A and B are shown apart, each in its own frame.
Chain A
Amino acid sequence: MDAEAAKLIGAGIACIGMGGAGIGVGHIFGNYLAGALRNPAAAGAQFTNALIGAALAEGLGIFSLVVALLLLFVA
């Protein structure tokens, strides 16, 4: 296989990892909303924690995006 083609395929495969980050972020905010609807009084204090969790989950997805961009523009 041509090296350039392999690079493009690799970048595409690397982007699959972002789907996992999407699942994770959706899971966090879905569960936050479910908890918030059960106990709205406690929801405000936990929103910061929900954001921290979402940021940590999203950061891992960003890693796969960075791998894809490295393959496309640097490697």
Chain B
Amino acid sequence: MANDPIHQFQIKDLAGPVNIGGYDISFTNSALFMGIAVASITAFLWYASRKQALVPDRTQSVGELWYGMIHSMVKNVLHEEGMKFFPLVFSLFSFVLVANMLGMFPYFFTVTSHVVVTAALAVFVVGLVVVVGIWKHGLGWFKLFVPSGVPIVILPFISLIEIISFLSRPISLGLRLFGNMLAGHIVLKVFSGFVVSLVALGIGGIVGAIAPLAMAVALTALEFLVAFLQAFVFAILTCVYLNDALHTHH
């Protein structure tokens, strides 16, 4: 079906099925675009930093802007002691940003529109928070769930709420990115589908197709904004969550 909005998210085998121990590990279009994302990040940053001139050229200033934005964000949220997490946050941001942006090209596959990819990233981040928290504070890290200065009567309820809110973090972190990319691409496809169906009706339909075409163009611009914003939000929330691992009292 030409106008099926879900068709674009189909995972296809590219090199034939590969099964090891009952697990399907075939090379799919998702794996291909993850590879393209990583390769283009590496190639661009290597190319941008090849000269390291005092007065940067255009490519180098884009690379410096990219690096500097995440650097100042990590520094603001995690301060000096958290700078050892900068490579992780920068890698996460770059991967999500480039995967989102690659998805904006027609006929390209959007890696981040699959919940398995975003949930894996989110579970890794929250798992890292637990590991780093216990590594740094020992069992004292669990004071995170017992805020100070709360009356003893309502403390069990507050702790319960804190635990539930902590456990919902990997779900919300993963679903936010997934939902935004999925919904955005479905909306784009639906409005493009209006244009195609209206134009097929003849001359009256072509006039009527102007409005959905303009809407599709405007939504494309919005989707570029969302692609950047969701990558940045993913990086910010990673920093905010890692801050919980470094400082238990809040």
Tell me the A residues contacting B by CB distance below 8 Å. 48, 51-52, 54-56, 58-60, 62-63, 65-66, 69, 73
The residue in chain A whose Cβ has the minimal distance to the Cβ of B229 is A51
The stretch from B100-108, B132-140, B174-182, B211-219 touching chain A is: B174-182
Judge whether B172 and A59 touch: CB under 8 Å: yes
In the docked arrangement, what's the CA distance between A65 and B185, Å?
14
On whether A51 and B232 interact (CB within 8 A), knowing A62-B180, A65-B183, A69-B182, the answer reads yes
Judge whether B179 and A55 touch: CB under 8 Å: no
B190 at the interface (CB under 8 A from A): no
Chain A min CB distance to B134 (Å): 25
Name A's interface SS.
Answer: helix
The residue in chain A whose Cβ has the minimal distance to the Cβ of B172 is A59
In the docked arrangement, what's the CA distance between A58 and B226, Å?
12
Judge whether A55 and B182 touch: CB under 8 Å: no
In the docked arrangement, what's the CA distance between A59 and B77, Å?
21
Chain A min CB distance to B41 (Å): 23
Number of interface residues of B (CB under 8 A): 19
On whether A51 and B175 interact (CB within 8 A), knowing A62-B180, A73-B6, the answer reads no
Between-chain CB contacts (< 8 Å), 18 pairs? A48-B73, A48-B77, A51-B229, A52-B236, A52-B237, A52-B240, A54-B233, A55-B236, A55-B237, A58-B180, A59-B172, A62-B180, A63-B179, A65-B179, A65-B183, A66-B175, A69-B182, A73-B6
Chain B residues, Cβ within 8 Å of A63:
172, 175, 179
Interface centre among A55, A65, A73 (most CB of B within 10 A): A55
| Contact residues of B between 73 and 112, Cβ < 8 Å to A | 73, 76-77
Judge whether B236 and A48 touch: CB under 8 Å: yes
Judge whether A62 and B232 touch: CB under 8 Å: no
Chain A residues, Cβ within 8 Å of B237:
52, 55
On whether A58 and B176 interact (CB within 8 A), knowing A48-B73, A69-B182, A73-B6, the answer reads yes
In the docked arrangement, what's the CA distance between A62 and B175, Å?
7
Judge whether A51 and B236 touch: CB under 8 Å: yes
